[in-house]
Structure formats: C-alpha cells, structure tokens
Chain A
Amino acid sequence: MDMEWMAWTTPTAIFFVCIALMLAGMTVWEVMSPTVEAKGFLPMRTTRGDRLFIGLLSSAFIHLGWLAATDVSLWGAFAVSLAWIALVIRFG
C-alpha cells in the first residue's frame, strides 16, 4: 500500500514504534501481573496505565515548555521526561 500521503519521516516512525512498544509492553505486564490501584505522591489513586498516561501527557508539556523557554537541545527535555515518567510509574 502506498503510504506517501501520510508523509512518514524516520523520527516520527521511531516515535510511533516506541509508543506501540510501550503499549504492547504494558499489555504483557498487565497479563503477567495485573495492576492494583495505588496512592503515591499523585493526588489520586491510580493504576499503572493511569500513571503511564500522566507521565506521557506531562512529558509532552515538558517538551513544549522546553522548546518555548530555552534554546538548549531538546535531548535535555527528553532526559527530564524519561526520569519523570520513571518517577511517576514507580512512586506516583
């Protein structure tokens, strides 16, 4: 099938593959050990999937904020986001 209309680029393809792998990984993790609602430092009880969603959404805003506020390489925002997602999933 011709996919030219979707105007794929390598970086966006890698981005979506990572998202797909993340969702697949979460599914496998859920099957192996079902999630339990827990209360961490976030102000509400969350499941593992909730925390991933919160982590990803806030990471998007970390990247946007970084772009708007600094001229430093976006890899900095990426590193901060990875640390933040790990923190939220483990202790959120």
Chain B
Amino acid sequence: MDKVQDNRAWFLIIPVFLIVAFSAVIPLMTVVNYSVQEIFGPGQTFFVGTEWFEVVLADERLHDALIRQIIYSLAVLAIEIPLGILIALGMPGGRSAKTSLTLVLLALPLLIPFNVVGTIWQIFGRGDIGLLGATFRAIGIDYNYTNNSLDAWLTVLVMDVWHWTSLVALLCYAGLQSIPPAFYQAAKIDGASKWAVFRYIQLPKMRGVLIIAVLLRFMDSFMIYTEPFVLTGGGPGNSTTFLSQYLTQMAVGQFDIGKAAAFSIVYFLIVLLFSFIFYTIITRTGEGEKK
C-alpha cells in the first residue's frame, strides 16, 4: 500500500512552538541584545560591542563560582544517582499497601517548595534550636554552617540529596517496573548472580530513565539558587555562592543588566555544552550495549 503523505500534523505543534517562542526564544534573543549594550533605562541604551563579554570572561569571582558550581553538580550526581538506584532496587514491587506507602514517602520531599527546604535545613542545622546542629554539639562535633565553609558546603550538598534523591529513585523504580518477569525467570534458570541481573538486565532497562535523571539533576543542580540562598546566603564569604546567585547579585543587586546578560549567555552555553556531553556519553554507552 502506498504511504499517504499528510502534513497536517505539523499544525499540531504550533501551540508548543508559540509557547516556547514566548517563554524562551524571545527572552533569549532579548538577552543577546542586552549583552552588547550598556543599559541605563528603557530607551537609554548604548552599543558597547563585546566589552561586557571581555569583562565577564576576566572576572575572577565568576571563575571561582564556576569551579564551585562544577564541583557541586558533579558531587550531586555522584551521590544522588547511585543512591537513587539503590533505593529503587530496595523498594517493594507489585501492588500493595507497602508499595503505596513507600511511593508517598519518597514523593514528600519533592512536594516541598525550594525556599521552604532552605528554611527547614537552616533551622535543622542550627546549634541552639536545630536537631542536627544540637546533636552534633552534644556529641562534641564542632559544626557551624554559618562560619565554616566545609560545614556550609556539606549542609548544602546533603540538603540537595535529601530534596532530590527521591526523584532519581522514583524514575529508576518506574524503569524497573517496566521489566517483564520473563527476564528474571530466564536469569534464575541460568543461575545468574544478583550482580549479573543488575548489570545485564536492570541497568540496561533503566538506561532511558537514567538519561533523564542525570540530565535533570545536572541541569537543576547547575542552576541551583533558592536553597543555598535561603540556607547560607552564599556564605560564609563566597564559599557557597554559585553561578545563579552571582548572576542575580549582578542583575538585581547592582542593576548591571548588560554585564548580567553577557554572563547569562556564557552560563547558558556552559549548561548547553555539559548537557550535550552527558547526553552523548549516555546514549553512546547504550549503543555499545546493543552491539
């Protein structure tokens, strides 16, 4: 039978195209326009060429924030992805009250607004009234996230793990549930070890959801703003000032719109590059599996 050529489906993507244009493409174009100008106010703009980019690229504070951001995002991935997989593997399967309870408990941290998470951990870590801070103090550990950089870093990291590992676990769980029982039966007949079942059945079947989990967690952690802002305010010193917080200081605090726009473009390109690299590595690993 001849294939029917019907291009009407293209009309169905018009709403999405319009929404993306209004919410992403046009604002991004505006940012590009701002990045080459000195902005004093509406209608008061002066073309400065690539000057803002030169300023931003030579900015030591931005270099420091970028290094901190990369270390932070890699640490988040290194902890949350294996931990999420482990939790998913340990979760009860099938339809039971235990499964429902586990799913609800895991979903709880995801339902809490970002600034509330920051506030919870701000109180939780305080030595005078917080459970965590007071416990550390009682057992003689000198823990203070407001004036010790390492403590601040660990608190921000653990807070992110607490908030987002559930997402990875739920995604992996969905991937595990889609594996037909026949795979496990075949593995049992072959006398496969638990590790072999994980390596050759579960992990390949979770590949699709893991791609999404890694990309989501990477992009989210690379753009993190609210939680560290509420918890540490970027301190002590600048030790937990990540890229987006530095950008906000520039754009809103100093009202340096042109410089902030140039910074945003560099930031956007870095996120795009890292996401592309991650995506390529993960999809290539999959191609290797198929061969």
Query: Which residues does A use to contact B, with CB under 8 Å?
Result: 4-9, 11-12, 15-16, 43-45, 53-54, 57, 60-61, 64, 67-68, 74
Contacts and interface: CB of A to CB of B under 8 A. Distances in A.
B34 interface: yes
Contact of B50 (A8, A45, A57, A74): A74
Given A7-B34, A9-B47, A44-B280, A16 B29 contact: yes
Contact of B36 (A5, A11, A43, A57): A11
B33 A8 contact: yes
B177 interface: no
21 contacts: A5-B30, A6-B30, A6-B33, A7-B33, A7-B37, A8-B33, A9-B36, A9-B37, A9-B47, A11-B47, A12-B32, A12-B36, A54-B276, A57-B269, A57-B272, A57-B273, A64-B57, A68-B54, A68-B57, A68-B58, A74-B50
A74 B276 CA distance: 26
A57 B272 CA distance: 8
Given A64-B53, A68-B58, 9 more contacts: A5-B42, A6-B30, A15-B32, A44-B284, A45-B287, A53-B276, A60-B269, A61-B269, A64-B57
Interface of B: 26, 29-30, 32-34, 36-37, 39, 42-43, 45, 47, 49-50, 53-54, 57-58, 266, 269, 272-273, 276, 280, 283-284, 287
B266 A64 contact: yes
Contact of A67 (B39, B54, B269): B54
B51 to A, nearest CB: 10
B25 to A, nearest CB: 10
Given A9-B37, A60-B269, A4 B47 contact: no
Contacts of B30: 5-7
